[in-house]
Amino acid sequence: MHKFPTFSLTPCKTMLQTIPSTMKAQDKDRVSCYFTKVGRNANLERLQYNYLFPEISERELRHIKKYPNAKVISLGIGDTTEPIPEIIASSMANYARSLSTPQGYKGYGAEQGNKDLRKAVAETFYKDMGIKDSEVFISDGSQCDISRLQMLFGSNVSIAVQDPSFPAYIDTGVITGQTGDYEKGSGRYQNIAYMECGPENNFFPDLPKTDRTDIIFFCSPNNPTGHASSREQLEQLVEFAQQNGSIIVYDSAYAVYITDGPRSIYEIPGARKVAIEVSSFSKIAGFTGVRLGWTVVPKELVYSNGFPVINDFNRIVCTCFNGASNIAQAGGLACLSSDGFKAVLSNVNYYKENAEILMNTFTSLGLRVYGGVNAPYVWVHFPGSNSWDVFNEILEKTHIITVPGSGFGPGGREFIRVTAFSHRENILEASERLRSFLS
């Protein structure tokens, strides 16, 4: 009989005392009395609470459990609701069916994406901007690409973000080790330059007063404020990056909603030398569940030693990613066909009409409202309030899900974000509920 070595287990009570205070009670209850000897990633310990959108979903589920007969309307998480146009869905279905035939079956594709799709993206979104198809990398979504870019940059770079901004920029920076500790008083992480973007400065940072950083994360139209930067503002941003030797990571996931102003950073002279652009089919074509996006890395963009950034990003993609789904890419090609693009723009216009209804609703109640014109988000100001309190009160009294602005940074403390991604009947009903509650 084998004699196994003996070892002692730290008493459960003592071990549970080491669990972070931020862990929820139900999670603590599931903790085993046996611990490995592997230390937790110190960067993950710096993260505060849950990621914003799963937290919203969890609160929605708790509310439904509390009010099982209530009709909850979600105007919170920016998930599209209208069906994918038939021409696009059929293209994906036909590709999927062809995989069952010897002639149609295909396995791995190029990690950088289908060449025809890369060409279509370059021609559709970057015509006359000098972007080549070889500079376009097809992916499974812009949020995934943000993580890959953080891996590309590593832990030794400094970063700047808009405040408020999409939380993934900050959270991935924390995980990568680019930041210091979280300061509860300010609601900010150390070693991040927070560029304040509020009504007082037309939602664009005061760049002369902004610290120099290696990487600048910038989203236009901004999520959550819905502000689309003007050409003059983006010219200032590119000039600022050039003067400081910084790289802009420009998130254009909602650019198709812009009716006036630049849709790409590459419309600005000099941007090819200082900017990477990430984008997505999610809010263009309803691909939130299909998952398809792209990143543009111009060949002119180089490190301080002259090495092309595109070469390193290609290495990251080839090492950490096997390429986007071939089925999803077939859908992407259909989106960018003449008829397909008209169909997806029809859905975009539908959501923009929803945004107008919501804007008119809040404005009629005497509230200051921003966004909504060039973006599918409405940013509503509740002066002197705490956004989580506003979120909770609206949910409790109207059964409507919104998103508290402080989830996007300290600059959103007095705001809530409301999405136009919903069926028209829900938008109209939500408007009536809000009028009854807030009037």
Q: Where are the domains of the chain?
A: 52-83+340-438, 86-339
Q: How far is it, in rounded angstroms, from Cα 32 to Cα 273? A: 52
The helix, strand and coil proportions of the chain, stated in percent and rounded to the nearest 5, come to 45, 15, 40
**Angle, CA 410 vertex, CA 409 and CA 413 arms, to 5°:** 105
Q: How far is it, in rounded angstroms, from Cα 292 to Cα 142? A: 8
pLDDT tens, N- to C-terminus, the chain (439 residues) = 444 444 344 445 554 455 555 555 555 556 567 899 999 999 999 998 777 888 888 999 999 999 999 999 999 988 999 999 999 999 999 999 999 999 999 999 999 999 999 999 999 999 999 999 999 999 999 999 999 999 999 999 999 999 999 999 999 999 999 999 999 999 999 999 999 999 999 999 999 999 999 999 999 999 999 999 999 999 999 999 999 999 999 999 999 999 989 999 999 999 999 999 999 999 999 999 999 999 999 999 999 999 999 999 999 999 999 999 999 999 999 999 999 999 999 999 999 999 999 999 999 999 999 999 999 999 999 999 999 999 999 999 999 999 999 999 999 999 999 999 999 999 999 999 999 999 8
The predicted pLDDT at position 48 comes to: 82
Q: How far is it, in rounded angstroms, from Cα 378 to Cα 371? A: 5
Reduce the DSSP state of residue 179 to 3 states and report it: coil
Reduce the DSSP state of residue 36 to 3 states and report it: coil
Copy the structure tokens of residue 110: 């190029």
Q: How far is it, in rounded angstroms, from Cα 283 to Cα 344? A: 9
Nearest to 336 by CA among 109, 140, 127, 93: 127
Say if residue 53 is exposed, middle or buried (CB neighbours under 10 Å; 0-12, 13-18, 19+).
middle
What CATH topology corresponds to 86-339?
A: Aspartate Aminotransferase; domain 2 (3.40.640)
The predicted pLDDT at position 237 comes to: 98
Q: Right CATH number for 52-83+340-438 from 3.40.50.300, 3.10.520.10, 3.30.1050.10, 3.90.1150.10?
A: 3.90.1150.10
Amino acid present at 356: E
243 with 207: CB under 8 angstroms? no
Say if residue 115 is exposed, middle or buried (CB neighbours under 10 Å; 0-12, 13-18, 19+).
middle
**Angle, CA 112 vertex, CA 110 and CA 116 arms, to 5°:** 75
Nearest to 207 by CA among 237, 166, 172: 237
Q: How far is it, in rounded angstroms, from Cα 149 to Cα 129? A: 22
The predicted pLDDT at position 30 comes to: 60
The predicted pLDDT at position 409 comes to: 94
Whole-prediction pTM: 0.92
The predicted pLDDT at position 143 comes to: 94
